[in-house]
Every structure is written in structure tokens, then in C-alpha cells.
Amino acid sequence: MQVSGNIIRSRYIFARRRGDEAFLDVLSQVQPATRTVLQNGPLETDWYPFDIFLDLCVTIDRVLGAGDLELIAEMGSFSCEHNLTGIYRMFFRFGNLDFLLDRAAKAWHSQYDFGTMTLTRDPENKHRITLQLADVARPHRAIFLAVRGWAVKAAQLSGSEITKIDEEFSDEPGAPMRWIFEYL
């Protein structure tokens, strides 16, 4: 299981923006393989092991947050805003949450080499969609929260207002993770 350098780099920048002392605290507490990546500066064009993603996210949350993994949703939000530049920003200006999450689901494998992401529209409520990530061999709450943070930021950037989120997370291998959004 691997994650694009784009994702790792956004977490790196997230930690760096907290200041040199905060970054050094994170650097001192990550695993040696993660430390090497951070010291060299992660490259957006490389792919990194999922374990580095997990180590980086969980360590940033523990060192710079409350240790409850909730800072990971903020990292997902940061990643959405930081990585969507240029032509992609146009999608946000003219799309709604349904449109944006459909594009994100289709582009999943440009950032992650595992899992299957799909979007389902509720036939009875045009403002209710389900985003699902399935077939993840090693589910972790970090990926679940990062996706939620990304989706919430996507809604904000598009001008959509999320009125309700229902979530389903399981750490059983292969079990689907779901986010059900109602929005205006």
C-alpha cells in the first residue's frame, strides 16, 4: 500500500507551518524511515509506503494536537486547499459537493494505490450523496478522518453547505468506510 508524495508533502508542510520547534518535535518522534523522508523533503512525484503516511499523521496529531486523531481531519482539509491550484480551483467555483466528490472518487488512484472509492447519489434526495472507500486491506482511522477533512473543505470551497454527515468506519480489512453527506 502506497500514498503519493503529494499527500505526504502536504502533511510535511502542515507540520512545518506550525513552526521550527513544532516540526523538530514531530521529526524527533516519527519512525526512522519517516524521519529520513522528512529530512530529505518528500517529493510530490514519488510514492511512499502507507506506513509512513500513518506514522506521520498519527505523530503530528499526538505531538501538535490532542492525540485523539482529530487533527488528521484538519490535515485533510489543509491538503484539499493546498493541493488544489490552477485549473482545479475552477472546479470548485462552478461545482457543488456532488460534482467535486465524484471527481475525487474517480481520481482516488492518482493519490493512493489501494482501495476503491465510489460516489452514490440518493435517488430520492438530490442533496444526499454517499462517498465510500472499500477494499482497504489495512483500514485506519487516519485515512477515514483525512478523507472527511478533505470533503468538508471541498464543500466550503465550492460554496456548498453541509447540513448533516453520517459516518461509518470499520477497521475490518476490506470493510467499507462511508461518509453520507446532506448539503445545500
**Tell me, what's the pLDDT at 92?**
54
pLDDT surpassing 90 at residue 114: yes
pLDDT for 145 beyond 90: yes
C-alpha to C-alpha distance for 155 and 134, rounded to whole angstroms: 22
Mean pLDDT throughout 47-69? 97
Please give the Cα distance from 164 to 13 (Å, whole number).
30
SS3 sequence, 35-82?
HHHHHHCCCCCCEEEHHHHHHHHHHHHHHHCCCCCCHHHHHHHHHHHH
Q: What is the pLDDT of residues 22-40, one digit of tens each?
A: 999 999 999 999 999 999 9
Q: At what angle do helices 20-29 and 32-40 cross, to 10 degrees?
A: 140
* pLDDT > 70: percent of the chain: 93
Distances (CA, A) of 99 to 63, 85, 151, 179: 36, 17, 11, 15
- The mean pLDDT value for 134-147 works out to 96
Task: Say which residue, 184 or 124, is predicted with more confidence.
Answer: 124
Mean pLDDT on 75-88: 77
Split at pLDDT 50, 70, 90, the class of 159 is confident
> What does the pLDDT read at residue 156?
87
Q: 40 is written with which cell numbers?
A: 530529505
Whether the predicted pLDDT of 124 surpasses 60: yes
Q: What is the pLDDT of residue 48?
A: 98
Q: Which of 69-73, 87-91, 115-119 has the lowest mean pLDDT?
A: 87-91
Cell numbers for 77: 482539509
Q: Please classify residue 48 by burial: count the beta carbons closer than 10 Å to its beta carbon, then call 0-12 exposed, 13-18 middle and 19+ buried.
A: buried
Q: Which residue has the cell 467555483?
A: 93
Q: Where are the domains of the chain?
A: 2-75, 90-183
Helix (H, G, I), strand (E, B) or coil at 119: strand
* Assigned C-alpha cell, 181: 453527506
- pLDDT-derived band at 87 (thresholds 50, 70, 90) equals very low
Does the pLDDT value for residue 56 go beyond 90?
yes
Query: Considering the chain, what is the average pLDDT of its residues?
Result: 92
The verdict on domain 90-183 having CATH code 2.70.70.10 is no
